[in-house]
Amino acid sequence: MCDFLVLDTDAASRCQIGRLPPELRDAVVGRAVCVTFVTVGELYRWAYKKAWGQSRLAQIEQWCRTVLVIPYDIEVARTWGKLVADRERMGKPLPVNDSWIAACCLARRLPLLTMNRRHFHEIPGLTLLP
C-alpha cells in the first residue's frame, strides 16, 4: 500500500466538509492525503464564484495546510505534455484540469482517489482507488 494518496477536486471538496462516501473514506484511512496545485486553485475558484465569505475562505486555507500540495514542476509539465498529446492523437482528449491532476499523479507515481472515474480510467499507468 502506498503511504500517499492524491484526491481529485471533487473528493477533496467532500473530504474537506467530512462528506466522503464510506467506500472512499476507507481508502483514505492511514494515508497521507495530497492534493494538486490544480485542486487548490479549483477550491478557490468555487469559493469566489459562490461568493463565500472570509470565514469559508479561511476554512479552505486551514484545510489546505493539513494536506500535502503537489506543486507544478518540470516533470509534471513534461508528463502533462505527453499525456495530452497522446490522448489527442487517440481522439480522446481529457478535461484540462483533470489532465493536470493525472500528470501530477503520474509524475510522482501516486494513486488517485476520484469520484469521476470516467475522466481518469483510461490513462495508462494511473492507479485509481478504491
**pLDDT tens, residue by residue, 67-111:** 999 999 999 999 999 999 999 999 999 999 999 999 999 999 999
Backbone φ, ψ for residue 7 (5° rounding): -100, 135
Asked whether the whole model's pTM tops 0.85, one would answer yes
Q: Which domains does the chain have, with CATH numbers?
A: 4-129 (3.40.50.1010)
**pLDDT tens, residue by residue, 17-66:** 888 888 888 888 889 999 999 999 999 998 899 888 888 888 889 999 99
Backbone φ, ψ for residue 17 (5° rounding): -100, 10
**C-alpha grid cell, residue 119:** 475522466
Do 30 and 39 form a contact (C-beta atoms < 8 A)?
Answer: no
Q: Which among 25, 44, 52, 122 is positioned nearest to 7, based on CA atoms?
A: 25
**Cα-Cα end-to-end distance for the chain:** 12
